[in-house]
Structure 1
Amino acid sequence: MKAIAWIVLLVGLVCTALFVATGLTGEDQFSWLNGWMAGPIILLFVAPMLFSFAGKLGGGFASLTGGVPKAFFGAPIGMGTVVGVARTGLSVNDQPQLDIQLDVDTPDGRSFRGTARQIVDLTEMASVQPGAVLPVRYLPDGRVALATDASQHELQAALDHVQLAKGHITPQQLHIARNGTETQAVVLSMAPTGEVRQGRSVVVLALRVTRPDQSMFDVTQEKALPPNAIRHVQPGSVVRVMYLPHDESEVAVLLSLVS
C-alpha cells in the first residue's frame, strides 16, 4: 500500500509541475483551468489519504498472506470459543476490523484466553458472536490468529484432538472417526439427560444408520454437545456419522466445528 501511495505522490508532483508551467505560459485568465489540475488535487487529497490508510494497515495487515500473518505460518491449531467482540474502528471496503476475544483450547489439553484481530465480512458477523467456535493458530506467547489458511483436514484433526484432550470424545470414538466408514444417519430421538459436562449438555441419541449397501441399523448412545450443536440433532435431522463395519455398537457423529 505504501508503494502505491508513493507512486501516486510522484504522479501528483509531475502533474502539479505541468499545471503550474501551463498556467504561467497561458495567454488568458482561464489558462489555469486545464487537465493538469489533477496534480494539486492528488497532492492535497488522494496521496495523504493513501499514506494514512497505509499507516493503519502497516502494523497488522501489510504482512498478511492468505489472511494469516506470517508469524503464524505453520503454527499449531486450537479451537477458540468466542467470548467477546469489539470493533477497532478500522474498516476495509466497508468491512469492519474486529478484535475477537477467545477462550482457546489446544490439542495438548491447555486452555488460555487470546484475542484475534480480523477483517470480517458483514455477512459473516453472525459467525463471530459469543459462543461460536472458531479455529485459530496460536504462538507460545499466547498470540492467536484465525486459521483461515487451514484445510478442512487440518481443522478436523485439530478438533478431534481438542475434544479428546477435554474428554468430550473417547479414544475409541476418535479411532472410529479416523478409520471408520462415513455415511448418513437419521436422528430418531434426542433426549437430554439433565447432566452438564464442562458446559455441554449430555443427551441420548437414537440413530438409524444407513450402510453403504443401503441397509440400515439402529444405535443409541450418549453424547455431550455444546449448546449451539443441539439444533443439528433434532429428531428427523440427517447427520454425518462414521462407524466400523465390523462393530456397529458405536458411531461417531460428525458435527464439524460445532460438535
Structure 2
Amino acid sequence: MKAIAWAVLVVGLACTAMFVATGLSADRELAWVNGWMAGPMILLFVAPMMFSLAGKLGGGFAALRGGVPKEFLGAPIAMGTVVAVSRTGLSVNDQPQLEIQLDVDTPDGRSFRSAARQIVDLTELGAVRPGAILPVRYLPDGRVALATDASQQELQASLDRVQLAKGHVTPKQLHIAEQGADAQAVVLAMAPTGQVRNGRSVVHLTLRITRLDGTMFDLVQEKAIPPTAIPQLQPGSAVRVKYLPHDESEVAILTTLVP
C-alpha cells in the first residue's frame, strides 16, 4: 500500500509540474484551466488519503491477519478465563469492541492477569462472559490477543498442557488425549460426589463408549468437571472421547472450550 501511495505522489508531482509549465507559457485568460489541473488535486487530496490509508493498514490497525495482530502471529497459546467484560465504545459495522479481562494460564504452569480487546459479533456476545475459557496468544511482556487464527488441534493441545500443569489431568490422561483413538460416547448417568477439587465439581460419570469396530463397552469414571463443561455431560448427551484400544480402564472426554 505504501508503494502505491508513493506512486500516486510521483504522478501528482509530474502532473503539477506540467500544470505550472502550461499555465506560465500561455497568455490566455483561462490558461491555468487545463487537463494538468489533476496534478494539484492529486497532491492536495488523493496522495494524503493514500498515505493515511497505508499507515492504518501497516501499523494503526496492527496489520490484522486472521483476526490476530501481526506481533502475535506464531506466539504460544494459553488459556484465559474471563473475569470481566466491558465495552470500549468503539464499534465496527455495529459490532462492539470489548475489553476482556482474563486470568491466563500457560502450558508451562504460569498464571497472570491480562486483557484483550476484540471486535465481537453481536450473536457471539453470550460466549464472552465471566467464567468462559478463551484461547489466547501471549507475549513475554504479558500482552495477549484472542487466538482466533489457531486450529482446533493447536487449541486442544494447549488446553491439555494447561490442564496437566494445573493438576486437572494426570500424565496418563494426557497420553490418552494425545495418543488415543477417537470414539463416541453417551452419558448414561452423572452423579455428584459432593466434593470440589480446584474449583471443579467431582462427579461419577457412567459412559457407554462405541469402539472403532462398532461394539460398545460401559465405563464408570470419577472426574473433576469445570462448571462450563457440566451442561455438555448431562445424561443422554453424546460426547467425543479418546481411549487406548489396549487399555479401556480410562477415557479422555473432549468438551468444547466455550460451550
Normalised by the length of structure 1, the TM-score is: 0.79
Give the aligned partner of residue 235 of structure 2: 235
Aligned to 1:201: 201
Question: Deviation string for 1:58-106 (max 9, x for gaps)?
Answer: 8652421111111111110000011111111111111111111111100
Q: SS state of the match for residue 80, structure 1?
A: strand
Q: How does 1:104-253 map to 2 (within 5 A)?
A: 104-253=104-253
User: Aligned to 1:68, what secondary structure does the other structure show?
Assistant: coil
In structure 2, relative to structure 1, the CA distance for the partners of 1:57 and 1:81 (3 Å cut) is farther
CA distance in 2, matches of 1:173, 1:83: 28
Question: Which SS does the other structure have where 2:131 is aligned?
Answer: coil
Output the CA distance in 1 between the equivalents of 2:94 and 2:50.
16
- Which ranges of structure 2 fall in alignment gaps of 5 or more residues? 8-47
Q: Give the deviation of 1:194 after TM superposition.
A: 1.4
**1:50-129 maps to which residues of 2 (within 5 A)?**
61-129=61-129
Uncovered stretches (5+) of structure 1, i.e. residues with no partner: 8-47
The number of residue pairs the alignment matches comes to 258
Q: TM-score, normalised by structure 2?
A: 0.79
CA distance in 2, matches of 1:107, 1:258: 18
Q: Aligned in 2, Cα 1:103/1:59: closer, same or farther, shift over 3 Å?
A: farther
The alignment partner of 2:257 has SS state of helix
Aligned mates of 2:235, 2:190 — CA distance in 1: 6
Q: Deviations over 1:94-122 (max 9, x none)?
A: 11111111111000011111111111111
Structure 2: how far apart are the matches of 1:104 and 1:124?
A: 21
The aligned counterpart of 2:16 is none
Identity %: 77
Distance 1:62 1:106, change over 3 A: closer
Q: One-letter code of the match for 1:211?
A: R
Kindly indicate whether the alpha-carbon contact (under 8 Å) linking 2:97 and 2:120 is maintained by their aligned counterparts in 1: yes
- How big is the shift at 1:226? 1.2
Q: Quickly say closer, same or farther: Cα 1:55–1:251, change in 2 above 3 A.
A: same
RMSD: 3.9
Q: Note closer, same or farther for the CA distance 1:49–1:171 as it changes in structure 2 (3 Å cut).
A: same
